[in-house]
Amino acid sequence: MQGNKTNADELIALIIAGIEEVKGLDISLLDLRDIENTVCDYFVICNGTSNTHVNAIVSSIQKTVSKALKDKPWHVEGSDNAEWVLMDYVNVVVHVFQKHVREYYDIEGLWGDAKVTLVESSYN
């Protein structure tokens, strides 16, 4: 299982780099591995300031990951209205929100047992 962890770490680093490339905000990493019956190992959560910004973040993540790993998300959902876009990389799921939608759904609160790491961005 150790190899899987390395792949997840690299994928997460690339996802975060993609978010930071277009100044995505309030990046959190939730480690779900110690929680039973989860659909994945990690959530990466961030928000953008508008639907245009959310779509730019999603696009940047896809480009960054694809360039480095030749990998693309298994599934992407929510791009049409871009208030909450979910990107499924199987063991890592990315949630890109508009701020008001993120506050409304409170994913971090729903997954309160997860280990949360806040990612410090140099531009915040």
- DSSP lists the bridge partners of residue 94 as 44, 87
Give 61-95 pLDDT, tens digit per residue. Answer: 999 999 999 989 999 999 999 999 999 999 999 99
pTM > 0.85: yes or no: yes
Number of domains in the chain: 1
Q: Is residue 65 domain-resident?
A: yes
The answer to whether residue 123 is domain-embedded is no
Q: Is 35 a member of any domain?
A: yes
Distance in angstroms (rounded) separating the CA atoms of residues 108 and 110:
6
- For 10-49, the pLDDT digits (tens) are 999 999 999 999 999 999 999 999 999 898 999 999 999 9
Tokens matching residue 101? 């939608």
Question: Could you list the residue range(s) of the whole structural domain that residue 95 is in?
Answer: 2-118
Long-range contacts made by residues 66-69, C-beta under 8 angstroms, separation at least 24? 68/10, 68/14, 69/10, 69/11, 69/14
**Is residue 27 one of the residues assigned to a domain?**
yes
Instruction: Residue 76: give its domain's CATH number.
Output: 3.30.460.10
Q: Angle between the 51-69 and 2-21 helix axes, to the nearest 10 degrees?
A: 140
Q: Report the greatest alpha carbon distance in the chain.
A: 39
